[in-house]
Amino acid sequence: MYPFSCTKAADTRAAIAAGQQGGRYLAGGTTLVDLMRETVERPGTLVDIGALPLRDITSTANGGLRIGALVRMADAAADPKVRNTYPVVAQALELSASAQLRNMATIGRSGGGRGPAVGTQRVQGRAAQAHG
Ligand SMILES: Cc1cc2nc3c(=O)[nH]c(=O)nc-3n(C[C@H](O)[C@H](O)[C@H](O)COP(=O)(O)OP(=O)(O)OC[C@H]3O[C@@H](n4cnc5c(N)ncnc54)[C@H](O)[C@@H]3O)c2cc1C
């Protein structure tokens, strides 16, 4: 490992500001910590976004679902709204990675492989929005 600093984002506005200043978001850590351990990734500042209120799955007016960026893969797969409205999404999540990873990994980063997410705006709230 190497020296780095870590801050905890108090709200989404602070998280976005920190990201714009070069901070790297830490959600479930399943990818980032692993890559840091191998020194593939060497961020100078981590911004812990784990406490942000982004864990809701809500129905949208047009019959879709809005999934918060910090919803864990396992929680999304088990959610009745996801299972009923988009069973293929639930099934895909259940087949992803391993049970340990699904219990930690968040939707905000999921689906894009193991590199950094594109842009800082995803932290803002809703990572995935599916429309029926
Ligand atoms: C062994 C293994 C198997 C895997 N298999 C699969 C698989 O089958 N399918 C699949 O989809 N993925 C798979 N992954 C990748 C997995 O989806 C990601 O590891 C996980 O979703 C990352 O979520 P996290 O919360 O742990 O992200 P972290 O490790 O905390 O962050 C990963 C990256 O995303 C950025 N990030 C995190 N949250 C946000 C946010 N809200 N906004 C902006 N940027 C953000 C971080 O800054 C970092 O660059 C696998 C990973 C491993 C290690």
pLDDT digits (tens, 9 = 90+) for 2-27: 899 999 999 999 999 999 999 999 99
- 23: Cβ below 6 Å to ligand 1? no
**If you take atom 31 of ligand 1, which residue's CA is the nearest one?**
32
> What pLDDT, on a 0 to 100 scale, did the predictor assign at position 114?
56
Residues paired with 58 in a beta bridge: 66
- 35: Cβ below 6 Å to ligand 1? no
What letter does residue 45 receive in the DSSP assignment? E
Domain ranges within the chain, ordered by starting residue: 5-130
31 alpha carbon – ligand 1 mean position (Å): 5
Rounded CA separation 71/128 (Å):
10
Q: Are 65 and 58 in contact (CB under 8 A)?
A: yes
- 65: Cβ below 6 Å to ligand 1? no
Q: Which residue in this structure is represented by tokens 């929005």? A: 129
pLDDT band at 124 (very low <50, low <70, confident <90, very high): very low
| pTM recorded for the entire structure | 0.87
Q: What is the pLDDT of residues 36-88, one digit of tens each?
A: 999 999 999 999 999 999 999 999 999 999 999 999 999 999 999 999 999 99
**If you take atom 49 of ligand 1, which residue's CA is the nearest one?**
116
Residue 117 has pLDDT above 90, yes or no: no
> What pLDDT, on a 0 to 100 scale, did the predictor assign at position 109?
73
The phi and psi torsions of 129 (rounded to 5 degrees) equal -135, 115
- 57: Cβ below 6 Å to ligand 1? no
- 82: Cβ below 6 Å to ligand 1? no
Helix or strand holding residue 46 (H, E): strand 45-48
| Topology adopted by domain 5-130 | 3.30.465
